[in-house]
Structure 1
Amino acid sequence: MSLVLIVGCGSKTTPSSQPDQGGKSTAEEVIKIGGNFELTGGVAEFGKKGENGAKLAIKEINEQGGILGGKKIVYVGADNKSEAGESTAATTKLITMDKVVGIVGPMTSGNTLAAIPVVTEHKIPLVTPTGTNSKVTVNDNGSVNAWLFRACFIDPFQGEVAANFALDTLKVSKAALVIDQKGDYAKGLADSFKKTFEAAGKEVVASELYVAGQDTDFRSILTNIRSKNPDIIFVPGYYGEVGMIVKQARELGITAAILGGDGWGSGPIVDVAGKDAMNNTYYVDHVASDDPAIAEFNANYKKEYNQDADSFGALGYDATKMLIAAIEAAGSTDAEAIRLALETTSGFQGVSGAINIDAATHNPKKSATILEFKDGEKVFATRVDPK
């Protein structure tokens, strides 16, 4: 999800830009919320599910009587086509033509970064469901992007969560790292894991590198790791390479637990690695569909869309509910009042966990989910709270 997608122009309003059922399309009687999602293009699966979650949240609020004294919410959607340039154009259209009071989306970090100059210029709050890159909310110089917020935790936090799970639940003391040397996502998670793991007095016994999209034979680095006999191997990559690494590790007789980040959930990892190889593996995610705490949301999502919910739908739902709660807390549709309400969000109960926004970074402090693979199926293992 930390993809940096670039180039593109123009935007396209989807049929979902029409007023919601029962809503009157006049500025005085409705409140417009925009959705800038990847509805076509390379990551359309992410965007469609995020938009589903957003629309379900709005439907539920409208059915409960709306907000600000009974005003209905109208969802206005725009397709960024999975391209950064299109995301900029979609954001411009939602603000200048559709007159939205806030925006939910995009899903990827690259498309979210492309929206920042527009929302900053026009002073309209944006909440990304899954843009995990730290630069979405905080610039290189440490200044906060005033109009940007997120419903998900950031990349480095996943490394911390993974290390705490390894320490507190799996009770391991020796770890090995396998890192994509050109991937900021992998390096960020690995650095955070190592820092947390070693701070607990435990040892990282090996750190091996590969190049995603280029390397397919990992036996040499895995043989080096096997000689160090770690209790756990942390592999914070994406499903294609990770699947091959897991498969080859098991073929070499490595039985240690293998752990990763949410990149594992971006594709059919079991098809690459094989069911048996994936036993005793775990990864960090934002939500698990079989987590008992979100059973009601899952049922409502499946009833609405005839498909199971996942983290993209859940975070699209949470991001929208966060924005709506901020509008209600502000008591108006004034953009600055909404921004301040988002910045001081505390104790917001989302389906992905309780969310408290850090005013200095606009990042949420929240729990993460650990999923475990058992006989080819991923199942809820536990929630890990921030420390």
Structure 2
Amino acid sequence: IPMISPSSTNPKVTEVGDYIFRICFIDPFQGLVMAKFAANTLKVKRIAILQDVKTDYSVGLTNFFRENFIKLGGEITSEESYSQGDKDFNAQLTAIKSKNPEAIYIPGYYTEVGLIARQARKLGITVPLLGGDGWDSEKLWEIGGEALNGCYYSNHSSTDDPNPILQKFVVDYKARYGGQPDAMAALAYDAALVLIDAIKRAGSASPDSIRMALAATKNFPGATGSITIDEHRNAVKNAVVVEVRNGKYLFKESVAP
């Protein structure tokens, strides 16, 4: 039976079987996106990393970011760690500050990132903080507040993106549920649309026919961008970089595979 994951970014997910697909990009690409953004857009050469060693997500993103940033000529000044649920990051941030990085990459979840941002600013660390899609939540600003101004993270979509399909989704979502949809909502919407499209093209309810139609998906116009399924059943698509500014999550740029 075909299965589509809207949001599983770990590359191992689709390796389990030929019937497993995903609509989101994978972590190796997400790490590359922020490495490129740091090197080419922010023009920084020296970055520190603060990772959550208890989650495969954070450890994986750290590895992909480190590898690509070094390939682009960057230097990792230091690597510090924490565990999900921690509240005090002062020791790690003090160690990071002593190495004078130009930015800090924090591939964790918004629950810790907001606290880290506040504590970093209190210690006098003013450089940009960078992260991944684990930052994506309206609660990020509630936790971190103004300490997050001028920080950036990679994501699957941004409600600030002018993509007309996304903008229609945002309007419809607000009308039904109230509030802004996050990227996970947009990915789930796209997963349903891609599946419906595959069923129509298959002309059958046969799992094998639907699987083949899903595998043949090319340039499908979704809310999170144009979606093509590759030979590994992963979605080939752009990522976006989001800037946090005064409680808003602003579209900064789109990065192609």
Answer yes or no: same fold by TM over 0.5: yes
Between 334-343 and 305-314, the greater mean CA deviation after superposition: 305-314
SS at match of 1:236: coil
Q: Is residue 217 of structure 2 the alignment partner of residue 383 of structure 1?
A: no
| Match of residue 234 from structure 2 | 363
Query: CA, structure 1 residues 189+335, in 2 after alignment: closer, same or farther (shift >3 Å)?
Result: same
Look up the match of 2:38: 166
Distance 2:110 2:152 in 1: 13
Q: How many residues align?
A: 255
Aligned to 2:212: 340
Where does residue 29 of structure 2 map in the other structure? Answer: 157
**Pairing 1:182-261 to 2, within 5 Å after superposition:** 182-213=54-85, 215-261=86-132
| Alignment match, 2:9 | 132
Query: Is the Cα contact below 8 Å between 1:218 and 1:248 reproduced in 2?
Result: yes
Aligned equivalents of 2:178, 2:109: Cα separation in 1 = 28
Q: Could you report, residue by residue, the CA deviation over 1:15-54 in whole angstroms, capped at 9, with x for unpaired residues?
A: xxxxxxxxxxxxxxxxxxxxxxxxxxxxxxxxxxxxxxxx
Q: Is the 8 A contact 1:137 1:362 kept in 2?
A: yes
Aligned-pair distance for 1:266? 4.0
Q: Secondary structure at the match of 2:88?
A: coil
Q: What's the secondary structure of 2:116's corresponding residue? A: helix
- Structure 2 contact 20–233 (Cα < 8 Å) conserved: yes
What is the DSSP-based 3-state SS (H/G/I as helix, E as strand, rest coil) of the residue aligned with 1:288?
A: coil
2:191 to 312, 315, 319: 319
Tell whether the 8 Å contact from 2:34 to 2:154 is kept in structure 1 after alignment: yes
Aligned to 2:170: 298
Distance 1:307 1:239 in 2: 18
Cα-Cα RMSD:
1.6
CA distance in 1, matches of 2:20, 2:58: 24
Shift of residue 154, structure 1, vs aligned partner = 2.1
State the identity %: 46
Is 1:244–1:273's contact at 8 Å kept on the other side of the alignment? yes
Q: Which has the higher contact order (CA 8 A, sep 6+)?
A: 2
Give the match for residue 51 of structure 1. Answer: none
Segments of 5+ residues of structure 2 without an aligned counterpart are none
**Residue ranges of structure 1 left out of the alignment (5+ in a row):** 1-123, 140-144
> 1:136 offset after TM fit, Å?
2.0
Residue 15 of structure 2 aligns to a residue whose secondary structure is: coil
CA–CA separation in structure 1 for the residues paired with 2:66 and 2:99: 16
Correspondence for 1:181 among 36, 44, 53: 53
CA distance in 2, matches of 1:376, 1:267: 8
Q: Distance in 2 between matches of 1:242 and 1:311?
A: 18
**What secondary structure sits across from 1:134 in the alignment?**
coil
CA drift of 1:170 comes to 1.1
AA partner of residue 230 (structure 1): P
Q: Provide closer, same or farther for how the CA distance between residues 272 and 305 of structure 1 changes in structure 2, counting only shifts above 3 A.
A: closer
Q: Residue 29 of structure 2 aligns to a residue in which SS?
A: helix
Structure 1 residues 308-317 or 233-242, which shifts more?
A: 308-317
Structure 1 residue 169 displacement after superposition:
1.4
Q: Secondary structure at the match of 2:130?
A: strand
Distance, in Å, in 2 between the alignment partners of 1:339 and 1:248 is 48
- Rg bigger for which structure? 1
Alignment match, 1:105: none
When normalised by structure 1's length, the TM-score is: 0.63
Distance 1:269 1:130 in 2: 19
Pairs within 5 Å for 1:139-154: 139=16, 145-154=17-26
